[in-house]
Chains A and B, each alone.
Chain A
C-alpha cells in the first residue's frame, strides 16, 4: 500500500495557481525529496498534504485512507507529523515542555483539567527519550528562548519524532544551519528507522541529495521531473530550472 498518495492536487490563491495537478506516490519507508526554486509551491504542497490549506481539487490519501477533507489535527492522529521551515515553537517554555506538548497532542490526557501535568512521569520520560534521539537531553530543562537556532531546528525534529509518525514531513530541516550543524542533522535523519516514511523539502541540494531515494522537482506549482537521484540530477530539465539555461 502506498504510504502517501497525492492525486492531481490543485490550489489557487485568487488568480495565482500555486499548485497545478500535482501527483505524488510515496511508498512506505521511502525518503522522498521535493526540490524546486523559491516560489515553486513546495511549502504550499506541504500545507495541502497536512490539511492546513484546503485543496481546490484533487485528493490526499494516507495509507489507503482518503484524508482530503480531514482537518489537520485529525491527520496528525492518523500518523502524519510535520516540521516548519520558519521555526514555530513555544518560546516561553522549556525544551522539554515543547516536546511534551507534542506528545500530549496525541494523548487523550490532553483534555484533562484536573491532573498535574508535571506529575505525568511517563510523558516526561518519553519527551526526554525523544530529546536524547536528537542529542538535546542534556539541556532539556533550558528555556527555549535561551537556545541557539541550530538547537531549535533539532527541537522541531524532536517534536515530530516524539509523535511516532508513520509519515514525517520535513520542511527545510537544514535551513539556516552551519556546515557542521547540517552534518549533525543529516546524521540524525539517517538514523530514523525505515518504518517512518519521510517527505522532505529542501532548497539546498548538497546535504539533502544523499538522503533521498527519489526526488520530485517542482517548478511554478507543477511536477517537472520525478525519478531516482541519478535520473533527476542527469535530467536536462533540472538544469534548466536551476541554472536557467
Chain B
C-alpha cells in the first residue's frame, strides 16, 4: 500500500469518527438536530451532484423528486401502513417518477433541460398544493412517529442523527464507488464530449438515464429522511426555492467533486438555521456568501481549498529550495 493510500484511509477513519462524535461534542439538542439536517441535505446534494457535476445536466426539479418519496411515506403512514412498506413504496415511487422525469427531460440538454426539469418540479408541487383529497393541500400531512429499526428508537435527536449518519455514509460510499467506476467515467465523458462518446460506441442517452436514476434514488432517500426528521410534509418542501437551494449547495461546495456537495449542504443549512438566529436578513447573508464564492473561488469551496493549499505548499517549497540553493552557492570554500 502506498503512503498516499494509507493517508487516505486514515483521513476517512478520522472523518467518520469525527461525525460520530458530533452529537457528543455539541451536546445541545437544537444543534444535534441541525447536524441531522446537514446530513440529510448532504444526501440530497450528493444526488443532485451526480447530474449537475458529473453529467453536466442542471436540474431545477429535484425538490419535486424529494417531495414524492416524502409524501408517499406520510400518506401511507397516515393510512395506517407500517414503516417498512411505506419506505419501500416511497423508494419505488421516487424511482418511477424519476424515470418519467428522465424520459422527458433527457430529450434536451443545456437550458432546455433546466426548463423541462423546472416545469416537472412545479407540476409535482402543484399536485401537492392542489390535489387536496390526496395531499391535504397546504395543511400538509403529519407523521405520528419515527420508525425503530432493529429496536433502536429514532425518536431522540441523537438516535435520529446516528441513523441519518449511517444512511449518509452509505450514500457517500455509493457515490464514491460510482464516480470511480467505468460507468462514472463514461458519464463524465458524456458531459465533456457527448459527440465523441457516441462515436466511441457509448449509448449517451442511456448513460445519462442511469445517472438520472441514481440521482433520483439518493434524492428519494433524502426525502424519506426529511419527512421522518420533521414528522411533517407540506408543499413548501417541494417549492422551486428548495430545488434552487440544492443547486446552491452543489455549486458552492464544488460541483463534480465528491465532498463538495456535503460541504455546500453544511454551509447552506448552517447559515439558514444558525445565522438566522442572530441576523434577521439571513437570506441576504446566504446571497452574499454565494456571490463571494462565485467571485473568489468559482470552482467551489472544496476544489478551491485544495487549490489554495497546493499553491501555498508550492510557494513554501520554492522558498525553501531557494534558500537551499543560495546556501550551496555561498557554501564553504575549499
Contacts and interface: CB of A to CB of B under 8 A. Distances in A.
Interface of A: 50, 52, 71-73, 76-77, 82, 84, 88-93, 97, 100-102, 104-107, 109-118, 120, 159, 163
B198 interface: yes
B199 A50 contact: yes
Contacts of A107: 182
A97 B202 CA distance: 15
A104 B185 contact: yes
A55 B181 CA distance: 36
20 contacts: A52-B198, A52-B199, A71-B198, A76-B199, A88-B193, A88-B196, A90-B193, A101-B185, A105-B186, A105-B202, A106-B200, A109-B182, A111-B182, A112-B181, A112-B182, A113-B177, A113-B178, A113-B210, A114-B177, A116-B181
Interface size classification for chain B: 20 to 34
A26 B186 CA distance: 33
A105 B200 contact: yes
Nearest to B214: A113
A115 B176 CA distance: 11
B8 to A, nearest CB: 13
Contacts of A72: 198-199
Contacts of A100: 185
Nearest to B187: A113
B187 to A, nearest CB: 9
Contacts of B183: 110-113
Nearest to A74: B201
A91 B188 CA distance: 11
Contacts of A104: 182, 185-186
Contacts of A89: 193, 196
A109 B196 CA distance: 18
Contact of A110 (B178, B186, B196): B186
A110 B182 contact: yes
A206 B63 CA distance: 60
Contacts of B260: none
A73 B203 contact: yes
A89 B184 CA distance: 17
Nearest to B204: A73
B261 interface: no
Nearest to B196: A88
Identify the interface centre among B182, B188, B189: most chain A CB within 10 Å of its CB. B182
A104 B181 CA distance: 11
B18 to A, nearest CB: 26
Interface in B189-229: 189, 192-193, 195-204, 210, 214
A87 B196 CA distance: 10
B201 A88 contact: no
A145 to B, nearest CB: 12
Contacts of B202: 73, 105, 110
A105 B201 contact: yes
B195 A88 contact: yes
Contacts of A101: 185-186, 189, 197, 200
Q: Which 8 A-B pairs have the closest CB atoms?
A: A105-B200, A105-B201, A76-B201, A113-B183, A88-B196, A113-B181, A116-B180, A112-B182
Nearest to A103: B200
Given A89-B196, A90-B189, 6 more contacts: A50-B199, A88-B196, A97-B185, A104-B186, A109-B182, A111-B183
A21 to B, nearest CB: 26
Interface in B44-80: none
Identify the interface centre among B185, B188, B201, B202: most chain A CB within 10 Å of its CB. B201
B182 A73 contact: no
B58 to A, nearest CB: 18
Nearest to A159: B200
B222 to A, nearest CB: 20
Nearest to A76: B201
Contacts of B200: 73, 76, 101-102, 105-106, 159, 163
Contacts of B182: 104, 107, 109-113, 115, 117, 120
Given A88-B195, A101-B189, A77 B181 contact: no
B305 to A, nearest CB: 19
A52 B198 CA distance: 9
A35 B198 CA distance: 26
Contacts of B204: 73
Nearest to A78: B201
A148 B199 CA distance: 24
Identify the interface centre among A82, A89, A117: most chain B CB within 10 Å of its CB. A117
A88 B189 CA distance: 11
A120 B184 CA distance: 14
B196 A84 contact: yes
A116 B193 CA distance: 22
A117 B185 contact: yes
Identify the interface centre among A71, A97, A101, A117: most chain B CB within 10 Å of its CB. A101
Contacts of B188: 90, 92-93
Contacts of B198: 52, 71-73
Interface in B76-122: none
Nearest to B186: A110
A175 to B, nearest CB: 17
Contacts of A110: 182-183, 186, 202
A91 B201 CA distance: 19
